[in-house]
Amino acid sequence: MLHIDQKVIEDIERGFSIPAQPKLLKKLQGLIAQEEPELNLIARTIAQDAAVSSTILKTINSPVYGLSRTISDIPKSVRYIGLEGIIILVTSSLLKQTFKQEDCSIALEDFWINSTNIANVCVHIGNSLKQAISKDILFSLGLFHDCGIPIMAMKYSEYHQIFQHALETPDVSITSIEDINYQANHATIGYYVATSWRLPKDICQLILAHHERDFLDNPFSRLQKFYFSILKMAENIVHQKRYNEDTPDWTFLKDKVLNILAINEGEYSTLLNSFEEDIA
């Protein structure tokens, strides 16, 4: 797996407005780390933040969880999706609250809609496969993989132009174009945020590597390659539905991704068409 050295970390700390881990998240992580976590105490702690509670209930009652009945309170949510799932939803809600539109050169609402779409498609793809994989990891990977982008856009007023240029220059990865222009890229910054906020290690490493076009050629575990492949397919499905074109990475990864996931061209087309009404 890719790694970043101490100098890169120090450059990020000096040059970017990295959001500090919120007190609520620290408290919840401490409660969950106990030998016998008390679910009712965890639920009460979450319920003290109205915005976080609202986001959790909205998400858990969305189609991604496919519930047959509505979950109406936080204690039921904690019991239903478990500790790993609840900490991911809390983290996503708090991260969204951290960024303010007036400080950012991209449309944050559109960014989070896109990230949520990718997270939901990741889960849908995962559910369609026979491989035993974590819905929570897929959802959080889809939601957080680009979390470095708002931080880049907060620092650079012209960032949206560089990002658009990257979409129009598929021969070069977006992270390479960012490195050329800024000597930093959103994957490295996203990795720093994810580790600072204590997301699971596997998610942090995949955030760091998610634009590496040779990832599937390297000797990583089959499970790592599964998560990476699902993310790249979900990215492309969402991009296809919104813009009627592939992502810059997809041309370089398509055949390998289909092979890893044991999906043929026809099955992929069926999967792509199944999201006609689901992409915001």
**183 and 256, same domain (yes or no):** yes
**24 and 121, same domain (yes or no):** no
Contact between 112 and 72 (Cβ < 8 Å)? no
pLDDT category of residue 37 using cuts at 50, 70 and 90: very high
Give the residue, 133 or 170, on which the prediction is more confident. 170
**12 and 61, same domain (yes or no):** no
| Of 49, 69, 98, the domain-final residue | 98
**45 and 157, same domain (yes or no):** no
**24 and 120, same domain (yes or no):** no
**Residue 232 and residue 253: Cα distance in Å, rounded?**
8
* Residue 140, amino acid: S
When the pLDDT of each residue in the chain is averaged and rounded to a whole number, the result is 90
pLDDT tens per residue across span 199-209:
888 899 999 99
pLDDT attached to residue 205: 93
pLDDT at 3 over 80: no
**DSSP codes of every residue in 49-115:** -HHHHHHHHHHHTSTTT--SS---SHHHHHHHHHHHHHHHHHHHHHHHHH--GGG-SS-HHHHHHHH
| Of 98, 129, 150, the domain-final residue | 98
CATH number at residue 274: 1.10.3210.10
pLDDT attached to residue 46: 95
User: Which residue in 90, 78, 95, 77 sits closest to 29, CA to CA?
Assistant: 90
Domain span holding position 93: 20-98
**pTM confidence score:** 0.90
**86 and 139, same domain (yes or no):** no
Percentage above 70 pLDDT, the chain: 93
**273 and 186, same domain (yes or no):** yes
For 19, other C-beta atoms within 10 Å of its C-beta total 17
**13 and 24, same domain (yes or no):** no
Number of structural domains, the chain?
2
User: Which residue in 218, 159, 213 sits closest to 189, CA to CA?
Assistant: 159
Contact between 28 and 90 (Cβ < 8 Å)? yes
For 16, other C-beta atoms within 10 Å of its C-beta total 17
**Residue 165 and residue 271: Cα distance in Å, rounded?**
29
pLDDT tens per residue across span 55-86:
889 888 887 777 778 899 999 999 888 888 88
**145 and 166, same domain (yes or no):** yes
156 phi/psi in degrees, rounded to 5: -120, 115
**145 and 240, same domain (yes or no):** yes
**118 and 252, same domain (yes or no):** yes
Percentage above 90 pLDDT, the chain: 66
pLDDT category of residue 280 using cuts at 50, 70 and 90: low
Mean pLDDT of 213-223: 94
**143 and 12, same domain (yes or no):** yes
Mean pLDDT of 102-114: 93
Q: What length does the chain have?
A: 280
**Residue 172 and residue 164: Cα distance in Å, rounded?**
13
Q: Enter the tokens of residue 139.
A: 């959802």
Task: Region of 254 please: left (phi>0), alpha (psi -120 to 50) or beta.
Answer: alpha
Mean pLDDT of 147-171: 94
User: Which residue in 234, 214, 27 sits closest to 143, CA to CA?
Assistant: 234
Q: What is the DSSP code (8-state) at residue 16?
A: S
| Of 67, 98, 129, the domain-final residue | 98
pLDDT category of residue 15 using cuts at 50, 70 and 90: confident
